[in-house]
Amino acid sequence: MSSRNSTGLDVEVQMDAAGQDSRIVLLGKTGSGKSHLANTIFGENLFGVYHTPNSGTGQCQAETKDVNDRSITLIDTPGFFDTGKPEEKLKDEIVRCITECAPGPHAFLIVLKVEKFSEHEQAVISKIRQYFSDDALNYAVIVFTHGNQLPKGTKIEEFVSQNENLSDLVKKCGGRCHVFDNKHWNNKQQNNYRSNQFQVEELLCTIDEMVAEKNGGHRTKKVSRK
């Protein structure tokens, strides 16, 4: 099954051989916490974290590790709207993540902060759809960082429901959303919503279910630029 997006790239869904690892691409604007989230999922600092106005991730970085009895490959990407890079260079580097996880990713993690869903965040979603086609949302999970900003006792679904545009985005992603706090939620209590360890297992289960629904399918792009 294939389609063509506005960049002139063929988008296909193929089937995985049994036993291959899950390949997951992280996408988001500069400062959303992608690299820190990747480190949280892996439980160690494999991805560089930089506290600067520009994106700390200049190129795609792929790392593989066993997490909760699963082999996981995470691919970190440069942040959208990084003022230190020309648009075309940034676009080429982000799209290159597909080749970093050949034959293609099983899931996209669209990383947003727990904050107002502004026009800037909406522009990030537009860029993702432009670079990877609307089909990307069928393979996407919305992952929020800075979860400690949620009011006590509030779950991320309640936060999402308060904004029509954000709620619509999550619906387009099959209702898939999770929340982390890379700084404050480091306790290891089981079944504790405000625990990164709990959220990692929930996130991986969501991805497993999504892949199973697609019979192990993943997205690939065959480069055929006009």
| Interval 123-174: pLDDT, tens | 999 999 988 888 899 999 999 999 999 998 999 999 999 999 999 999 999 9
Q: What is the pTM of this model?
A: 0.84
Q: How confident is the model at residue 50 (pLDDT cuts 50, 70, 90)?
A: low
The amino acid at 27: L
Here the tokens at position 184 are: 């404050």
pLDDT score at 216: 58
* 110, two tokens: 């669209």
Distance CA 221, CA 94 (A): 13
Q: Which residue has the tokens 């898939």?
A: 176
28 three-class SS: coil
Q: Which of 35-44, 98-107, 136-145 has the lowest mean pLDDT?
A: 98-107
* CA–CA gap between residue 184 and residue 25 (Å, rounded): 24
Q: How high is the pLDDT of residue 217?
A: 55
* The residue to which tokens 């727990």 are assigned: 114
pLDDT mean across residues, the chain: 82
Confidence at residue 16, expressed as pLDDT on a 0 to 100 scale: 43
| pLDDT given at position 2 | 34
Checking if the pLDDT of 33 tops 90, the result is yes
Confidence of residue 99 (pLDDT cuts 50, 70, 90): confident
Which domains does the chain show, CATH number per domain? 2-222 (3.40.50.300)
Angle 103-109-111 (CA atoms, 0-180°, nearest 5)?
145
What's the CA gap between 127 and 139, in Å, rounded? 16
d(CA 121, CA 114): 11
pLDDT at 87 over 60: yes
User: Two tokens at 23?
Assistant: 């390949």
What would the mean pLDDT of 83-104 be, rounded to a whole number?
78
